[in-house]
Structure 1
Amino acid sequence: MQTLKENYELVVIGGGLAGFCAAVAAARLGTKTCIVQNRPVFGGNSSSEIRVTPHGACAFHAYARETGIISELLIAERAVNHEEIFENGWTNSIWDLTLYNLAQSTPNLTIKVNTDVYEVEKEGRIIKAVKGRVQNTETDILFLADTFIDASGDGIVADLAGCEYRIGSESKSEFDEPHAPDVASNDVMGSSIHFKTKYIGKECSYKAPDWAMHYEDAGFFYKQGRPPKQKKGGYWWIEIGVPYNTITDNETIRHELTRHALGVWDWMKNKDPKMKELTKEYALDWVGQVPGKRESRRIMGQYLMTEHDPQNCTVFNDEIAFGGWFIDLHTPGGLLAANSEPASNENYSTFSDYAVKSYAGPYGIPLRSLISKDIDNLMMAGRNVSVTHAALGTVRVMNTTALMGQAAGTAAAIAKQKNIPVTEAPVKIIEEIQQQLLRDGCFLPNYANKDQKDIALMAKITASSEALLFGAGPESKGSHEGLKIWEDQPQYEIEKLENRKGQLIAVGSEKINKIEVCLRNNSDKVQQFFVELKKSEHIWDYSVNKGGILAKAELTIDPGIHWVEWPIGLQNAPVGEFVRLDLLPNPELEWLCAGKIESGHMAMYQISDDKMRRFGNGQTLSFKVDPPQACFGPQNVISGVTRPHRFTNLWKSDPNLPLAQFLQLSWENTKKIKEVELTFPGHLLREYHAYSPFYQDPQCPKDFEILAFKNNKWETVLTVKDNYQRQVKYSFESIETTQLRVQVTATNGDPSAQIYEIRCYE
């Protein structure tokens, strides 16, 4: 056995998406970083070993996809992977290689895989080193560093260092959380393994081994929230926790899950009255052997997030990430419990008391929940951060943990640069951390770009043209090739006006003369319905009763399909904001969907007395507005926000004009520009599941040029071909100019050139 000693500025323990994004973020900021992973591949639960598809806020909120490093990775994977996403179990090694390629390509980052950390050396409140054993090499490595990030999931480093942690559920009396049980317990959510099947084009049989589980009762699946609806595999509900300990009994859990996975396939293939016919020509292709873990230790930090924070969208001064998954707390025991996860057990109703109280966000996450309260140079990232059990139900999904990881790595790097302890980062350097996260493509719900070094913020912005918002009807056509609806989302007759529905409209003119809606009257009589136009704080303002009513009316519609005009005559519309057009219930009517998705214009429907939720999967409902609204102007690219939020924040060229179209920045004095950074549309609207193989977002510019005005003429500084990434950054020797253009010559399918943000640095 040999022992090596290695020195770093930052060591990240754990190579799941949280740890991976932490390590890459820190290394990109110049920090000498090492990532230590105990598996041969990166990605944790998302890797090809476990195959849990990454989830996040966009499963429930349109335009809420996580951006930054995780977005860069997922966009890169879709662009090159032939495999279709069908939920858990599908993942192939292309995803592993996407992660590995980025790690190998990142300067300042050292990779250590197949390495288990098992010992901590500390002095007082400082960790000096951690010791790891490299599997199959008879080698130990002592990792010395200034700062450590525990992204191990189980909080291994924090536990070895003696940090306080929580495990299981808090009682209702402790924080009065809506989802907390009356009595506290050590029960945690369970672990899962998945399987995948393959279509082979002919009938094939399957015989389960004697040691596998043998299911006989259809009610276990169809009446207890475990419907085997996907013949290709998947099934998060193949889950076991209690009575086993998810840490110490992990191997027992693995064996038990294998028995149950084979038993589920045996049931589907040979006994299930619904599935045995559908699976006749499907064969078992892969069974996982590494349990995907949901919960174990939660390390106590400087702040303990409770369920009230995501539910109430608490605004934190030290906000560094966001979430938006629902409060998703699986039943302890999983397959061994009487019923599965509550939402599944009620067939994902969107109107039940449970669904209403579980819908949350998007909400901010504070840096203090990522910093240990007991060790001064230890941070956490992933499912081991400082939250209650109920709050973990939403922050635990992988795209959210990836954001927390990038934030932890960024904070560690900037603290090192500023020579201050990470414990002081939430107070002393939080603005620098937030601004760096924004510059690196992340989104913060309550903070915008105010980077004083970004000279684009001081420029006059013009464009060759801009699109106007006319609205869209059932006959409208958009550029949405490869974008689909994730089939696991709740589906229902969404167009019927059985409850209040609302359509956002971005206001670009003080006057709104009239609004029209396209409805179907399914009765044989004239129908009345009520409309309201309300102020909307942002696109995720789901309140029914808040927000001032700008106008309201009662309208009528004859039987059949008609455009119904509302001569609203509004004179003081809130320019630069969204308003929401609400139609109140009339079950005889349907509000028809538009045939295209209008950028930033999502809709919602009422689920309780004072709460709405996203309509469909981000579709636009049919509407027309007069006059057309100037809401896609060039000034939007310096709004400081890189997605629709309080406004569209998007420049879009006139789709009726041919490309090339350009965006222009002008300054009064000559600037010496060394860096230009651009953020384009793409991969924001829907969950990762909705994007097809080889997907390149049609709204994203494909070919473009950067030009500078020099010697009384425009000179091309940079030409880019075949782009599909959302954020791109370019460095130059130095461009001396008073004017700069970004000229889009081709997109990946959309007729308009579109840009969310441009940054320039001297």
Structure 2
Amino acid sequence: MIKETFSKQSRTNKTCQINTDFVVAGGGLAGVCAAIAAARAGSKVVLLQDRPVLGGNASSEVRIWALGATSHMGNNNRWSREGGIIDEIMLENLYTNKDGNPIYFDAVLLDKVIAEKNITLLLNTAAYQVNKSSDTKIESIDAFCSQNSTHYQISAPLFCDATGDGIIGFNAGASFRIGAEAKSEFNEQLASEEANNQLLGHTLFFYSKKVDHPVAYKAPSFAYTHEEIGAIPRSKNIHGHDSGVKFWWVEYGGIRDTIYETEEIKWELWKIVYGIWDYIKNSGKFEDVENLTLEWIGTVPGKRESRRFNGEYMLTQQDIVEQTKFKDAISFGGWAIDIHPSEGIYSDKPACSQFHSKGVYQIPFRCFVSKDIDNLLFAGRNISATHMAYGSTRVMITCAHGGQAVGEAAAMCKDLTVIPRDLLAEEHIAKLQQRLNLTGHGIPGIPLNIKENKLNCGTLSASSEWVLAQFKGNGKYLLLSQSVAQLVPLSKGRAPRVSIDVIANCDTEVCCQLRTSTKQENYTPDNIHKSISLPVSKGRHGLMFDFSDIEVAEQYAFFCFLANDDVQLAISSQRISGTMSVFNKVHKAVSNNGKQDAPAGSGIENFEFWTPERRPKGENLALRFSPSLDGFGVSNLGNGYLRPWLKSNVWVAEYEDRSPKLTIWWDEMVSIEEIILYFDTDYDHALETVLMQHPENRMPFCVSNYSITTDSGLLLARVENNYQTVNKVKLDSKVSCNKLTIEFEHPSDTVPAALFEIHIT
């Protein structure tokens, strides 16, 4: 029993002093990845989150699906899903939660964080004040936990502001921006003539579900009436059976102060959302809604924009559109420049304007390094970018990917006893890039350092290598109602002849084009090398299109069949790593109308979209190639690339090889400490975390079962039920050998075993 007498003085809360290596404020996906990366690299980390769960806008409190460069698979960014820690998290979520339950995703994130012994996680703990030891150095931060009435003072040599609104950077005195720059400041043609304070707004979501009995609904008195909802310009977008993120356009707050007026913005959104539900249930304008009930409504709005801090570099519209190359690239993006009218739901303009680049773009480390505070890094939506560039960098998986880079950089700073700005030295950036890519992080155009891989000191052979002579037909045909292309890697030299079986419903013609991307690394087929039209009569035919007079570079090519409703093309059930079919189709969710028609003078390019179908659709075309394409051999292993880039970069075994294996031998004994295998988890598939369902709980290209043995028969690893991209086999003690054998099982009858890289240290 505790008894305390009256005190004339006000009491103080319990105080806890913590000293650590690295403090991450903000437990959204960026902060989570920063904390995990630093912890795995050996730093002691304190992760502060002012909410009861992790994930920020991706959490069950807000329930926005997490996306990045893949953009719902609606742009031309092939194999662009972010790698590393966020890839690990997303694949874990897929395996346990393919139906997109937001509560399950909360648990996945908590599980990942508490598994790291170097992380001290403080939930419900809000950082609110910074203490500085000098003008440009943070000494500690103050935080308070509302659940245990404890005041924390946390000291560290390094800090990361991943709070979104930037409370740490703001309190520390770092320079920042709110609003949109004028066109003249950075020569951004998409920007307004004059600078303004308009922002992207907040959105509050709700979930509905259908039950087996009628459910009545009476709106709270604060909800807007049917007449008020019906008068909102976007009320025409309301569909009775939509739910969750489908209502992303219920946006408000961009013309207000999105930091200090967030509570007022939330109340306005509550009035709108409860009013929308009443409108759906009781206006009589919607059918089959009697059995619908309101299952959940958010209490925390998803916030899009507030402060952006000044870093050592500020990313611009041109960097995204022109895909600027940076020596200090440590992350990448690929979401469209996605700008919303600041009036939000009250605007009569389109809910968003999305302007896509022709491919992914790099983000330099300098965007994450404070220009003003020596020991402060940024992660998430508050990094150094203009309002236009921010329209792309703000999305959660892009933020998470950058967060990992920040965490790895913080660990390097500890190891080298330097501040973040010092890592911009060429030798340090190269090391940071290498450390990140070893985790499967994936920085466009920057491979692993092959000189650090003992694999390349030996000789590698395979029991088989798949050669693309044909995609075997399955007897089924695809109606050519929309233009479709087979995407395959070509070697430098003459293009092949391609053949395919077709069924014509009447006398017509079939047109096939050979296309490539003007930028070799892109997947926008804007360069038409040759177009061939062949006449066909009604019935089934085998057609051959001769492109052998065309010289091509080493890059991906599109064999495009133009739409013809009177033609069907043979398809294949074979799924091969590094190949896919794509369609010139409409994808309204990402402002894809089949072609991007940008406003004149906007600095945005016009081009066609060729995008894949989601599985179980999206079969390859049953093409035959002459000569065969040999870009799937064992020589791809050890080249440092962990995904397709200019070529497939993947070894694929033959279907007929029932026990595929790789053998590595050295002329003399080598000491092995770690073996890292990089598998194919379909970097093209967008792994939306909530609402959307996925057709499988593991990527069909990924090898599930494999073993590694030495020349003496010593079993180093036997792995079963793998569904992750990166597999690290860390040995308890070093092993000396002059031969390794890796044996695989095919993922399925239609998918052969494949591997992108082996890295041995």
Question: Which sits farther off after the overlay, 553-562 or 589-598?
Answer: 589-598
Contact map agreement 1:495 1:593 (CA 8 A) in 2:
no
Task: State percent identity of aligned pairs.
Answer: 30
Structure-1 residue corresponding to 2:194: 183
The residue identity in structure 2 corresponding to 1:135 is: S
Correspondence 1:564 to 2:563:
no
In structure 1, what is the Cα distance between the partners aligned to 2:227 and 2:678?
Answer: 54
Q: Residues 472 and 203 of structure 1: is their aligned pair in 2 closer, same or farther, counting only changes over 3 Å?
A: farther
1:35 has 2:35 as partner: no
1:746 Cα shift? 5.5
Aligned to 2:463: 464
TM superposition shift of 1:41: 1.0
Q: 2:316 aligns with which of 300, 303, 306?
A: 306
Which moves more between the two structures, 258-267 or 18-27?
Answer: 258-267
Structure 2 gaps, min length 5: 1-12, 585-593, 597-604
**Correspondence for 2:628:** 628
Aligned 8 A contact 2:479 2:565 in 1: no
Q: State the TM-score, normalized to the length of structure 2.
A: 0.88
What's the counterpart of residue 260 of structure 1? 272
Partner of 1:346: none
Report the equivalent of 2:710: 708
Report SS of the residue matched to 2:760: strand
| 1:610, distance to aligned residue in structure 2 (A) | 5.8
- Give the conservation status (yes or no) of the 8 Å contact 1:531–1:552: yes
Aligned match for 1:100, one of 107, 110, 118: 110
Contact 1:239/1:334 (CA < 8 Å) preserved in 2? yes
| TM-score scaled by length of structure 1 | 0.87
Say if 2:348 is the partner of 1:370.
no
After superposing the two structures, state which structure 1 stretch, 524-533 or 620-629, moved more.
Answer: 524-533
- Pick from 311, 317, 320 the counterpart of residue 327 of structure 2: 317
Residue matched to 2:242: 231
Q: Following superposition of structure 1 onto structure 2, how do residues 197-596 of structure 1 map, counting pairs within 5 Å? A: 197-216=208-227, 226-228=237-239, 230-234=241-245, 235-271=247-283, 273=285, 276-343=286-353, 357-359=355-357, 361-428=359-426, 429-472=428-471, 475=474, 495-496=480-481, 502-507=485-490, 514-517=497-500, 524-527=506-509, 529=511, 531-532=513-514, 534=516, 538=520, 540-542=522-524, 544-545=526-527, 549=529, 553-559=532-538, 562-569=541-548, 577-583=555-561
Distance 1:163 1:705 in 2: 52
Q: What letter corresponds to residue 637 of structure 1 in structure 2? A: L
Q: How much does 1:557 deviate?
A: 3.0
Calculate the aligned-residue CA RMSD, in Å: 2.9
Q: How far apart, in 1, do the equivalents of 2:413 and 2:569 lie?
A: 53
SS at match of 2:64: coil
SS at match of 1:614: coil
- 1:302-357 CA-to-partner distances (Å, cap 9, x unmatched) read 001011111111001111111111111111121222234234xxxxxxxxxxx6x4
Q: Tell whether the 8 Å contact from 1:325 to 1:361 is kept in structure 2 after alignment.
A: no
In structure 2, distance between residues paired with 1:132 and 1:673: 45
Indicate the larger mover: 368-377 or 639-648. Answer: 639-648
With over 3 angstroms needed to count, the CA separation of the structure-2 counterparts of 1:65 and 1:192, relative to structure 1, is same
Equivalent pairs, count? 716
Give the aligned residue type for 2:711: F
Shift of 1:624: 2.4
Shift in Å at residue 587 of structure 1?
7.9
**Does the C-alpha gap of structure 1 residues 183 and 626 become closer, same or farther in structure 2, counting only changes over 3 Å?**
same
By how many angstroms is 1:393 displaced? Answer: 0.8
**Post-superposition shift, 1:130?**
0.9
| 2:418 partner SS | coil
Distance 1:511 1:101, change over 3 A: same
Measured in 2, the distance between the counterparts of 1:695 and 1:7 equals 41
Q: Tell me, in whole angstroms, the C-alpha distance in 2 between the residues paired with 1:750 and 1:147.
A: 50
Match of residue 348 from structure 1: none
What CA distance in whole angstroms lies between the structure 2 residues aligned with 1:474 and 1:623? 8
Q: Distance in 1 between matches of 2:54 and 2:389?
A: 26
Q: Counterpart in 1 of 2:165? A: 154
Q: How far, CA to CA, are the matches of 1:477 and 1:427 in structure 2? A: 57
**Conservation of the 8 A alpha-carbon contact between 1:497 and 1:591:** no
**Aligned-partner Cα distance in 2 for 1:173–1:253:** 32
* 1:407 Cα deviation from its structure 2 partner: 0.6
Question: Once the two structures are superposed, what CA deviation does each residue of 1:421-450 show, in whole Å capped at 9, x if it has no partner?
Answer: 211212241000101110011111120011
SS at match of 1:688: coil
Match of residue 352 from structure 1: none
In structure 2, relative to structure 1, the CA distance for the partners of 1:295 and 1:512 (3 Å cut) is: closer
The 5 A counterparts of 1:130-149 are 130-149=141-160
Shift of 1:210: 2.4
Shift of 1:16: 0.3
Deviations 1:399-437 (A, max 9, x none): 000001001111111122122221121224100010111
Query: How far 1:496 moved relative to its partner?
Result: 4.0
What code does the residue aligned with 2:702 have?
C
Q: Which one is further off, 564-573 or 233-242? A: 564-573
Can you list the C-alpha shifts for 1:111-162, whole angstroms capped at 9, x where unaligned? 1111111111111211111111111323211111111110000011111111
Deviation of 1:280 (Å): 3.0
Q: How does 1:666-705 map to 2 (within 5 A)?
A: 666-689=665-688, 692=694, 695-705=697-707
Q: Structure 1 pair 133/533, CA: closer, same or farther in 2 (3 Å)? A: closer
Distance 1:509 1:359 in 2: 26
User: What pairs with 1:14-93 in structure 2 (closer than 5 Å)?
Assistant: 14-59=26-71, 60=75, 61-81=77-97, 84-85=99-100, 91-92=102-103
CA 1:512–1:295: 2 relative to 1, 3 Å: closer
